[in-house]
């Protein structure tokens, strides 16, 4: 809410008329010595509609939600559609092993594991 929109009109209109889905994804991130674990809520998004892209040190996870609900009863019928792109980006650690990232989607939850490469011990150079 803000001064221009004190009652959250955009949210109300989106709920009433189905508008595009807000660009918000609930996420949990944890890291240990094996790697980084990212868990994202993607309710209603099919795994074939999820994209994971890496550019430089940034991973971007996006999905397109398509929901169409058609109810036909004796005395009425309704059609509800919700759609939109949801996206989230994270910076990767320097030691991220991007060639071995593992991603699984089940029951509206996307789990991503980003393993880390062990930093090699520094090599000492003897000055002659």
Residue 108 belongs to domain spanning: 23-115
* 6 inside domain: no
Q: What is the pLDDT of residues 27-72, one digit of tens each?
A: 899 999 899 999 998 887 888 889 999 999 899 999 887 766 777 7
Per-position DSSP letters for the chain, written without gaps between them: --SSSTT-HHHHHHHHH--BPPS---EEEEE-SSEEEEEEE-TT--GGGEEEEEETTEEEEEEEEEEEEEEE-SS-EEEEEEEEEEEEEEEPPTTB-GGG-EEEEETTEEEEEEEBPPPPPPPP----
* 55 inside domain: yes
4-17 mean pLDDT: 44
* 71 inside domain: yes
What's the CA gap between 9 and 75, in Å, rounded?
31
**In the prediction, which pLDDT does 4 show?**
47
Q: What is the pLDDT of residues 95-117, one digit of tens each?
A: 899 999 999 999 889 999 999 98
**In the prediction, which pLDDT does 26 show?**
84
What pTM did the predictor assign?
Answer: 0.64
Dig out the tokens for 32 from the structure.
Answer: 């240990």
* 111 inside domain: yes
Cα torsion 16, 18, 21, 27: sign: positive
Please answer whether residues 104 and 111 qualify as being in contact, where contact means their C-beta atoms are separated by less than 8 angstroms: yes
CATH code for position 37: 2.60.40.790
Q: Give the count of domains, the chain.
A: 1
């Amino acid at each position: 809410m803000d001064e221009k929109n004190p009652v959250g009109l955009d949210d109300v209109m989106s709920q009433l008329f189905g508008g595009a889905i807000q660009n918000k994804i609930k996420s949990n991130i944890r890291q240990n010595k094996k790697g980084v674990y990212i868990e994202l809520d993607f309710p209603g998004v099919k795994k074939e509609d999820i994209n994971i892209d890496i550019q430089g040190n940034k991973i971007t996870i996006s999905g397109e939600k398509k929901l169409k609900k058609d109810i036909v009863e004796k005395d009425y019928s309704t059609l509800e559609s919700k759609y939109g792109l949801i996206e989230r980006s994270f910076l990767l650690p320097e030691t991220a092993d991007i060639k071995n990232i593992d991603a699984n989607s089940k029951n509206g939850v996307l789990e991503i594991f980003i393993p880390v490469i062990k930093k090699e011990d520094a090599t000492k150079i003897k000055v002659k």
